[in-house]
Structure 1
Amino acid sequence: MASLVTSAHVSNIKPLRCSTRKVNRVNCELSPPSCREGRRMVSISLVLSPFLLIPNRADAEGNLLDRYAKRKKLEPLETYVPAVILTQFQIEDLDKTLEGDEPQFALCRSLLRSGPAASLRINIRAVAQYASDSGNGKTAFNNVDECLRSIEELDSLLLRASRNDPGASVKSMKTNVKSALIALDSLLQTVPSDVLSKGKVIADSYLDREDVETESLDPGLKQLESIL
């Protein structure tokens, strides 16, 4: 005979509690020593986003991210653009590491998960949403999809290469890097020219002021630090 669930049993059931993830502040150097040529080393003190760029977990987590991004009130567009530009620099630096005789594939993967790249997914979706509000949504979100697809394929190739898979060629990696950079550049073309120009100035300031503490940054740089 099937047992009955009494009110006493129900009262003994305790609700599950979800632990709160701690977000740690870290210092990220975006470029390894082998790719300092043509650009100064970037050192940024930032709070990493709890959502990483590369979706290594189940698809459900990606859906959670999308719901989070839709619910979250967007910051002004000016706060996202410099972070996207800095990520472009970061990916360009990664591309340079692939040109060496012995590329450090594991290091390249870590670059995709540190600094501005760690929150690229949220940043480019926010830029695309602003583009959508001004009538350029289809182009912008296509660029977002192309960028993320290229980065995810690049990450997969880097993982295979780090495990000595001969099928993961550097040529294929560089193709994906190029596709991601083209998509990011196209996305930034949807940004109003005045906002884009200001974003480039702020990004360049980060590159030129790697030893400056956050407290001494001007308001524009502090705003970028907070969104990162």
Structure 2
Amino acid sequence: MPERAPLRTAVPVALLAAGLLLTGCGAPAAKPASVTPPSAAPAPGSTPAATKPAAAAGSLGGAGTACDLPVSFSLAKGWKPKAVEKPEDPEFAELTRQGPAFVRCEVDAKPAGNIGFLRVWTAPKDKGPARAALLAFVKAQDKTSGALYKKTQAGALPAVEAVYTAHSEALDEKKQERAFAVDTPKGPVIVHLGGLDSQEHKEMLPAYELAKQSLKLR
């Protein structure tokens, strides 16, 4: 009988989807959660201002890194990656699957001082190209609105990016999220950035931009 994916690798997925990231035995992360008032939250579908990428302090996806992925990219200082084991396990698929994609790797921002994750998802080739996979990925997330899609670049690769708002049940407010997707020989790859709230999301954007600008096929 194959080894089951540990629940602790799947639980953060559900918590972030609910808008509340916890550490340890349910205690909040060391940094106090900053809550963005609804009036200050970005307008649905708004185009974010350009963000300067963080300095590279590591890499992910290649040989010897924490996650074996179809792509590789640079990591910002303090961000800690961890592979999600056997995400297709039916027992945990409700937590590790979103639309056509399964989460393969979680990069935790808490050691760098923020509450959120950069997550890498993969979808099967037969589910369509990157744009179709990203559309289905966003649609599958609960209570999203104002999604804006645009063509962009991820490293030297053509990509599609979505910027949208999601509803945080825990904070009862809207928060901004985004993701980009690229095609690879193994199928679409989606890199998603959420966060506890819109302020946390904004503070983590340099690490997301670093991943996008440094991304390469393996």
Both proteins in one fold, TM over 0.5: no
Kindly indicate which of the two structures has a greater share of residues assigned to strand: 2
User: TM-score, normalized by length of structure 2?
Assistant: 0.26
Say which one has the larger Rg.
1
Normalized per residue, which structure has more helix?
1
Q: Give TM-score scaled by structure 1 length.
A: 0.25
